[in-house]
Structure 1
Amino acid sequence: MIYIKKEMDGQQQEIEIFGDEIYTRCFKCGNEFQLDEELLLDILAESGSFSGTRISCGCKSK
């Protein structure tokens, strides 16, 4: 099981996550989109971390 830990109402909760539940927002236009498992693996292979990752949805916004 892969999960995130989040404190809610003063108690630590474990929230299980699945590959089809991971989303982000485009750093250019703000559009929310789902990340697929292939893209997640590419991010980890390139940087080794999700920290500071900026992903575009493919828009033409500046």
Structure 2
Amino acid sequence: MFGRRVPPHIVFLLSLLLAVLAGVAAFRYLRADNWLPGLLWGAVAVWFLVDAVRSYGWWKGR
């Protein structure tokens, strides 16, 4: 962003944390029969999980 990249292991950990938090939110919304917010939070969780997998590949590919 400002000429320096964030290390891949930091991106991996933050993406994994955000994926877990979004997954918990999705689970709680779906348990309360709020389908639209549950599906949206589920999509966000999948987005961050895919980002974590990609950053893990960058981290191990060094």
Say yes or no: TM over 0.5: no
Name the structure, 1 or 2, with higher relative contact order (CA <8 Å, separation 6+): 2
Q: What TM-score results when the alignment is normalised by the length of structure 2?
A: 0.25
More helix by share: 2
